[in-house]
Amino acid sequence: MSKTYLIIGGGQAGAQAVDTLRREGFDGRLVLAGEECELPYQRPPLSKKYLSGEMAEDRLPFRQRAFYDDHRVELLLGARAVRLDPGARRVWFADGTGMNYDRALLCLGATARRLDCAGAGLEGVHYLRNLRDASSLRAELRAGARAVIIGGGYIGLEIAATCRRLGLEATVLEMTGRILNRVVAPAVSEFFTRAHRERGVQVVCNTRVVALEGGTRVERVKCADGAGFEADLVIVGVGALPATELAASASLPLDNGIIVDEHCRSADPSIFAAGDCTNHPSLRYGTRVRLESVDNAFEQAKTAALNMLDRNAVHDRVPWFWSDQYEHKLLIVGLSAAHDECVIRADPLGAGFSVLYFKNSELIALEAVDDSKDYMAARKLIAGRNRLDPRKAQDWSRDLKDAL
């Protein structure tokens, strides 16, 4: 009897899972259910080229509909899954319909953390997680408008860069002492602070938003210290929360995401999960992590799909991330939290630099600014658990691999 494999979620992970299942020989019924009405599409351009108008909407999908038709993938678009019954192996959708499955893969992603203050519901307040958000925001990006961005993380800074390219005034309000505080070294924060200020962005740190003010539409942002910032529109980028409601309905264990093992399998043997919604073990770093990155979603989805086919694959990739802001590219590989030494490796001519993190002389992470060569070397060195001489590694005149 033919089996039914159900993929819930139409992002990077969901799209990759159906591709891998068919490539690896799954010949049963394959269903991809997505809450959005669009074909699965790329998310990174939403804050950059799509938002600026450089990329048309029809270039966003990973695959055109013909791919899904040719590979016998049933698309349930605009279908929000609301309840999951592991015992019956059945899912229910918001319209009251349901379907049974033999194995399911949850690729639910994450949702934007909402602003919790007076005026948060005013018109002109935007979040950016999906195409609808991006299209709504893009319609308001007109030269001369005053954009206030709450949150100095990746999304906030990429949007600020896009705003400046389009001729808007831009102000970034960050609650902590520096932008990108949770993800990079102070030197990297300082570099991007300068880059934004040189292009006219007002970057304000150590400030907490307490209210948005206006009639029916936002007009200003008020902070705890009494400062106020006039605004024609506000973009909120204060983090994301894993989408776990569906897993909770199935009583699956949760802890900052859906708990999965190294095979991307949940506590229920017929339910797998991949991408931003998961809390998974990193065998390389000996800890559990939840990662919000395209690469992790891609790799976890491949692993989950293989294990849905009983291939006993293990997810143990070294994570990596990137951000494009103006002409600068930030590349990060590895996890730096457990480091005991940190050195900066910089081109004396100012063309780029890297921050290297060590634990017992083992390279565990690297942040590269305009330095793809060091980034590529670090990916291999970190995966191979190589020990380097930090002093040699700091010397820009030698290749990073020569610091072994």
Q: What is the DSSP string of 218-286?
A: EEEEEETTS-EEE-SEEEE---EEE--HHHHHTT--BSSSEE--TTSB-SSTTEEE-STTEEEEETTTT
> Count of CB atoms within 10 A of residue 45's CB?
18
In 69-175, which ranges are E strands? 73-77, 81-85, 90-93, 98-100, 103-106, 110-112, 125-126, 146-150, 169-173
Name the strand (E) or helix (H) holding 17.
Answer: helix 12-23
* 32, 10 contact by CB (below 8 A): yes
| pTM for this predicted structure | 0.96
* 270, 104 contact by CB (below 8 A): yes
Distance CA 188, CA 389 (A): 22
DSSP state, 60?
A: -
- Residue 83, beta-bridge partner list: 92
* 36, 13 contact by CB (below 8 A): no
Give the domain ranges of the chain.
Answer: 4-44+55-111+241-308, 114-236, 327-403
Instruction: Tell me how far apart the 2 most distant CA atoms of the chain are, in Å.
Output: 68
Q: Which of 229, 11, 6 is closest to 129 using CA atoms?
A: 11
pLDDT in single tens digits along all 404 residues of the chain: 799 999 999 999 999 999 999 999 999 999 999 999 999 999 999 999 999 999 999 999 999 999 999 999 999 999 999 999 999 999 999 999 999 999 999 999 999 999 999 999 999 999 999 999 999 999 999 999 999 999 999 999 999 999 999 999 999 999 999 999 999 999 999 999 999 999 999 999 999 999 999 999 999 999 999 999 999 999 999 999 999 999 999 999 999 999 999 999 999 999 999 999 999 999 999 999 999 999 999 999 999 999 999 999 999 999 999 999 999 999 999 999 999 999 999 998 889 999 999 999 999 999 999 999 999 999 999 999 999 999 999 999 999 999 88
- Residue 148, beta-bridge partner list: 171, 234
The CATH number given to 327-403 is 3.30.390.30
Q: Do domains 4-44+55-111+241-308 and 327-403 have the same CATH topology?
A: no
CATH topology assigned to domain 4-44+55-111+241-308: FAD/NAD(P)-binding domain (3.50.50)
Query: Residue 313 region, left (φ>0) first, then alpha (ψ -120 to 50), else beta?
Result: beta
Q: Which CATH class is domain 114-236?
A: alpha beta
